[in-house]
């Protein structure tokens, strides 16, 4: 089945998105008169996001779980590996210059754990820390606030995996080292990225590292990531100067039943519990959902839930699309179903801007109205090749406008939304999909490593200038 929507006329998509109650400006249309712009609150943080294992090369770091996975025949869709990615570790000055020119105010990147502790726990790699030192300084020099994520999925091989409880303390020790080194200049931190993706896709469906397919391993990975999150947050608070903010990021998705089969409704409730509530509920002091207790009880020790409930200063939300659930004879009784056929689709996910309002309001209503940042949202498209120094990605602009409008609508409805980071700064290595999915505001030719800005970067720059959806 083709996921390409490039044949859908822009005007049809605009009508469809307007039907969802969202204001959409497509690039071919004149911008709203200034007074009508949907403005965000003052101080709204406009950023871009990326991660070390998707952009940095392997040079100068230890081996990771994702190296092992990527080197396994057949694991990566296009047969690529992560050995070079976008060579961000060498080329970051060029990337930062393009982002600074566009007025990007914040860069969410991740620290590579195997670069800091290549061979084992304890003493860190001086050269690895020095690299992030330079990177942070390079951002600050260009007026870009660094927003590091401590753990964006790359585990050093020596640390094992999340079936084992010890990894939680290893993660906290590593987090404290990084916070101690960069905390004088870095004001905002994110501990984990999407522990739900790691648990379900890495330990359940096996499409991500470490490639396991085991229900028991999923529950171990849920609990040991939650525990590592709490321990790391405590260790970082102790290592950082006062006033620093530490959040954590979860990929929060509304889960809907596929079609109208009644058994899919229970499947959707179960998937919502595992995907969203297994992480959010204990983080906000509600403990684990009771339906999961039997599967988690062998992993939970006295005091764990109090550690996990260490409250972050903000919650990072990655939102791309809703998830559809279908009842199935799998170990979990549920599998991922198909979205309604009429939804527009990018080259990867389908497009549901109103789901972002749903997510942000749910977090506001159910989890103590936390400060929220959309730490990722973005669109993989089959972009045209660069022509005369630019990539004309008009479709991305339309989708981005609709998601920004949704974020704005949630802010108007009371969600304490403080910023948004587009995924991703550049095209990069999309895990098991290799280089086939291109999310960037900047095109990267993966052979020559040449960077070319896309039209969407200029669009995003314009939104930043007006602090509004334009």
**DSSP conformational letter for 385:** P
Respond yes or no: is residue 430 known to be catalytic. no
CB of 129 to ligand IFM, least distance (A): 23
The residue (of 46 and 153) whose beta carbon lies closer to ligand IFM is: 153
Residue 67 binds ligand IFM, judged by CB under 6 A: no
> Binding to ligand IFM by residue 377, rule CB under 6 A?
no
376 binds ligand IFM (CB under 6 A): yes
CB 219 within 8 Å of CB 183:
no
Out of 56, 67, 161, 194, which residue is the one contacting ligand IFM (CB under 6 A)?
194
Q: In whole angstroms, what is the distance from residue 240 CA to residue 237 CA?
A: 5
> Shortest distance, CB of residue 329 to ligand IFM, whole angstroms?
28
Separation between Cα atoms, residue 253 and residue 424, nearest integer Å: 19
| Residue 201 lies near ligand IFM (rule: CB under 6 A) | no
Strand bridging mode 188-193 / 245-251:
parallel
Strand ranges for 343-389 from DSSP E = 372-377
CA dist., res. 274 & res. 286, Å (int): 15
Nearest distance in Å: CB 318, ligand IFM: 5
Closest C-alpha to 282, from 305, 252, 262: 305
Residue in 5, 51, 64, 426 binding ligand IFM, rule: CB under 6 A:
51
Residues 317-356 contacting ligand IFM, CB under 6 A: 318
What is the helix (H) or strand (E) element at residue 188, kind and residue range?
A: strand 188-193
Task: Assign residue 408 a region (left: φ > 0; alpha: ψ between -120 and 50; beta: otherwise).
Answer: alpha
Q: How far is the CB of 123 from ligand IFM (least distance, A)?
A: 29
Active-site residue (options: 352, 358, 376, 395): 376
**Could you count the other beta carbons within 10 Å of the beta carbon of residue 19?**
9
Catalytic-role residue among 194, 258, 358, 430: 194
Q: What angle do the packed helices 166-182 and 215-239 form, to 10 degrees?
A: 30
Q: Is 225 in the site for ligand IFM (CB under 6 A)?
A: no
Q: Is 272 in the site for ligand IFM (CB under 6 A)?
A: no
- Is 149 among the residues that bind ligand IFM (CB under 6 A)? no
Calculate the CA 391 to chain-centre distance: 24
Containing H/E element for 278? helix 278-283
56 binds ligand IFM (CB under 6 A): no
User: Rule CB under 6 A: which of 114-143 touch ligand IFM?
Assistant: none
- Nearer to ligand IFM by C-beta: 190 or 468? 190
Known catalytic membership, residue 194: yes
Residues in the chain: 470
Q: Output the smallest distance, CB 423 to ligand IFM, in A.
A: 6
Q: Which residue lies nearer to ligand IFM by CB, 151 or 174?
A: 151
User: Should residue 258 be labelled a site residue for ligand IFM when binding is judged by CB under 6 A?
Assistant: no
Closest to 229 in 3D by CA, of 131, 149, 146, 141: 149
Distance CA 118, CA 174 (A): 11
Number of residues that bind ligand IFM (CB under 6 A): 7
Q: Is the peptide bond before 424 cis (omega within 30 degrees of 0)?
A: yes
Q: Which is nearer to ligand IFM, 154 or 304 (CB)?
A: 154
- Judged by DSSP in three states, 391 sits in strand
CB of 158 to ligand IFM, least distance (A): 23
Closer CB to ligand IFM, residue 337 or residue 434? 434
Minimum distance of ligand IFM from residue 282's CB (angstroms): 21
Q: Nearer Cβ to ligand IFM, position 354 or 430?
A: 430
Least CB distance to ligand IFM at residue 428 (A):
7
Q: Interface residues for ligand IFM in 399-438 (CB under 6 A)? A: 423, 430
Question: Encoding tokens for residue 293?
Answer: 């207790």
DSSP 61: S
Catalytic residues: 194, 376
Site residues, ligand IFM (CB under 6 A): 51, 54, 194, 318, 376, 423, 430
């Amino acid at each position: 089945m083709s996921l390409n929507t490039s044949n859908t006329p822009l005007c049809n998509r605009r009508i469809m998105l307007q039907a969802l109650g969202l204001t959409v400006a497509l690039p071919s249309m004149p911008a709203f008169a200034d007074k009508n712009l949907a403005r965000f609150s003052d101080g709204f943080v406009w950023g871009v996001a990326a991660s070390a294992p998707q952009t940095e090369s392997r040079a100068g770091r230890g081996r990771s779980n994702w190296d092992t996975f990527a080197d396994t025949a057949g694991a990566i869709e296009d047969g690529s590996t992560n050995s070079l990615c976008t060579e961000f570790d060498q080329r970051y000055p060029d990337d930062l210059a393009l982002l600074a020119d566009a007025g990007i105010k914040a860069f969410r990147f991740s620290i590579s754990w195997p670069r800091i502790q290549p061979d084992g726990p304890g003493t860190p790699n001086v050269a690895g820390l020095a690299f992030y030192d330079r990177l942070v300084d390079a951002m600050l020099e260009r007026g870009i606030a660094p927003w590091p994520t401590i753990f964006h999925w790359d585990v050093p091989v020596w640390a094992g995996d999340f079936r084992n409880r010890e990894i939680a303390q290893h993660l906290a020790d590593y987090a404290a080292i990084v916070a101690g080194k960069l905390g004088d200049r870095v004001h905002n931190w994110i501990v984990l990225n999407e522990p739900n993706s790691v648990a379900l896709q890495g330990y359940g469906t096996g499409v991500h590292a470490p490639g396991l397919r085991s229900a028991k391993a999923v529950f171990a990975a849920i609990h040991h990531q939650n525990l590592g999150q709490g321990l790391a947050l405590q260790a970082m608070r102790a290592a950082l100067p006062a006033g620093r903010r530490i959040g954590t990021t979860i990929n929060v998705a509304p889960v809907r039943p596929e079609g109208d089969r009644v058994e899919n409704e229970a499947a959707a409730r179960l998937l919502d519990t595992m995907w969203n509530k297994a992480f959010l509920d204990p983080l906000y002091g509600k403990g684990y959902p009771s339906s999961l207790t039997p599967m988690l009880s062998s992993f939970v020790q006295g005091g764990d839930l109090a550690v996990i409930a260490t409250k972050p200063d903000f919650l990072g939300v990655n939102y791309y699309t809703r998830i559809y659930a279908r009842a199935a004879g799998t170990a979990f009784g549920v599998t991922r179903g198909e979205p309604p056929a009429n939804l527009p689709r990018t080259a990867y996910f389908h497009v549901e801007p109103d789901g972002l309002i749903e997510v942000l309001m749910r977090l506001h209503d159910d989890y103590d109205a936390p400060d929220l940042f959309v730490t990722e949202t973005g669109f993989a498209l089959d972009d045209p090749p660069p022509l005369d120094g630019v990539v004309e990605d008009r479709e991305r602009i339309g989708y981005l406008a609709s998601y920004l409008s949704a974020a704005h609508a949630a802010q108007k409805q009371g969600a304490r939304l403080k910023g948004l980071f587009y995924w991703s700064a550049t095209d990069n290595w999309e895990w098991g999909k290799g280089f086939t999915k291109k999310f960037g505001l900047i095109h990267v030719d993966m052979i020559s490593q040449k960077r070319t800005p896309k039209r969407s970067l200029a669009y995003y720059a314009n939104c930043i200038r007006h602090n509004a959806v334009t």
